[in-house]
């Protein structure tokens, strides 16, 4: 029997219309456009302004677009996975909420929390379900309303994050394409450098936690940066080596868009020219688990069947991950 390999059969992205530019941020905190661009590579990001909408609504738009584009009927979806660090609520899962809004009935859905590495962690889970024959069509969506946990009076992190969602359809193929290899890593040492202090079972919400701004992102930028630079470069090189990929036969690098300098370090380690690196950090900033599918969505026209792609990410936890894909359409 031919071995089934899971593959991406379609991709769709969604970002809210409102733009928050570096110039806008200059009015809000003590920063400037030149500093932000040179330290991060970001010029603007999208923000979901409507307070009645959340991550599930961004995810819903991405999934609806994906289903329409791939002519997929709701009845064909076997599983919906959402990766998010900004769930609408602690429970139910944002995947359940997206499923409900889509009108899915009896279809399993759950969330994956691996912060910025969420999409690659999600790919690894979808891959198992498809390759063991349990499910035929899996929808994987990264959806983030990062603006809901950003303190717009804190210049150390408000410049980085943006809102958005990206979704992929994963199915089996018998061709020589697909999600070939995945590497996943984590190290709890990172929790002290990047977390949201309150709102969970450790520090439930109180008047005090709100007054102390403990429901926003706590980020020690320099410590995160140091770890991210090393680990994202290391795992990207590792997945190349173990799959005999070289700067010549690797067609695309799809990095998590956290900071252009982190991407540059990985690119250098991999020995890749600029034209092989997908970048959209300048317009969307760091949308956490949505960055990679948003890149794939924007570059989809340029991808050819058989192209070799390396995806890699680093995020809170710490978590980091890489995937080797042979594009299948």
* Site of interaction with ligand COA (CB under 6 A): 31, 35-36, 39-40, 116, 155-156, 159, 219, 221-222, 224-225, 228, 258-259, 286, 314-315
Given the residues 82, 83, 116, 295, select the one marked as catalytic: 116
CB of 279 to ligand COA, least distance (A): 15
Question: β-pairing, 164-173 with 5-14?
Answer: antiparallel
286 flagged as catalytic: yes
Strand order in the sheet with 252-255: 178-186, 319-326, 308-315, 252-255
The tokens describing 195, both together, are 């977390």
CB of 77 to ligand COA, least distance (A): 29
212 flagged as catalytic: no
Given the residues 22, 259, 286, 308, select the one marked as catalytic: 286
CB of 189 to ligand COA, least distance (A): 14
User: Which one, 107 or 312, has the nearer CB to ligand COA?
Assistant: 312
Helices (H), the chain: 22-28, 33-40, 55-69, 94-102, 118-131, 155-158, 207-211, 221-242, 260-270, 281-284, 291-299
User: Which one, 35 or 299, has the nearer CB to ligand COA?
Assistant: 35
256 flagged as catalytic: yes
Place of tokens 């040179």: 38
CA distances from 288 to 15, 249, 259 (A): 13, 28, 11
User: Which one, 37 or 64, has the nearer CB to ligand COA?
Assistant: 37
User: Which one, 72 or 259, has the nearer CB to ligand COA?
Assistant: 259
CB of 137 to ligand COA, least distance (A): 30
User: Which one, 160 or 325, has the nearer CB to ligand COA?
Assistant: 160
CB of 318 to ligand COA, least distance (A): 9
Buried/exposed 304-323: b ≥16 CB within 10 Å, e otherwise: eeeebbbbbbbbbbbbbbbb
The tokens describing 207, both together, are 């008047």
Query: In whole angstroms, what is the distance from residue 120 CA to residue 177 CA?
Result: 17
Given the residues 157, 158, 256, 280, select the one marked as catalytic: 256
* Residues forming the active site: 116, 256, 286
């Amino acid at each position: 029997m031919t071995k089934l390999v899971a593959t991406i059969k379609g991709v769709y992205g969604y970002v809210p219309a409102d733009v928050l530019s570096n110039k806008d941020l200059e009015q809000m905190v003590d920063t400037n456009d030149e500093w932000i661009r040179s330290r991060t590579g970001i010029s603007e990001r999208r923000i979901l302004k409507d307070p009645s909408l959340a991550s599930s609504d961004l995810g819903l738009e991405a999934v609806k677009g994906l289903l329409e584009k791939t002519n997929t009927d709701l009845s064909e979806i076997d599983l919906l996975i959402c990766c998010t660090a900004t769930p609408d609520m602690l429970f139910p899962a944002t995947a359940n909420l997206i499923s409900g809004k889509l009108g899915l009935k009896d279809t399993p859905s759950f969330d994956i929390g691996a912060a910025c590495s969420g999409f690659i962690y999600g790919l690894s889970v979808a891959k198992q379900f498809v390759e063991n024959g349990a499910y035929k069509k899996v929808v994987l969506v990264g959806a983030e309303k990062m603006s809901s946990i950003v303190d717009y009076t804190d210049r150390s992190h408000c410049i980085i994050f943006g809102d958005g969602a990206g979704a992929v359809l994963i199915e089996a193929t018998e061709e020589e394409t697909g999600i070939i290899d995945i590497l996943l890593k984590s190290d709890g040492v990172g929790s002290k450098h990047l977390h949201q202090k309150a709102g969970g079972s450790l520090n439930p919400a109180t008047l005090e936690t709100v007054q102390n701004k403990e429901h926003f992102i706590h980020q020690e930028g320099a410590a995160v940066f140091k770890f991210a630079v090393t680990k994202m470069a290391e795992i990207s090189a590792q997945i190349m080596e173990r799959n005999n990929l070289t700067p010549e036969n690797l067609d695309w690098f799809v990095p998590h868009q956290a900071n252009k300098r982190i991407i540059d370090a990985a690119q250098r380690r991999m020995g890749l020219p600029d034209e092989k690196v997908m970048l959209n950090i300048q317009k969307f900033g760091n949308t956490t688990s949505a960055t990679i599918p948003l890149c794939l969505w924007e570059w989809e026209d340029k991808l050819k069947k058989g192209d070799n792609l390396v995806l890699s990410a680093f995020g809170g936890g710490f978590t980091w991950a890489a995937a080797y894909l042979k594009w299948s359409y």
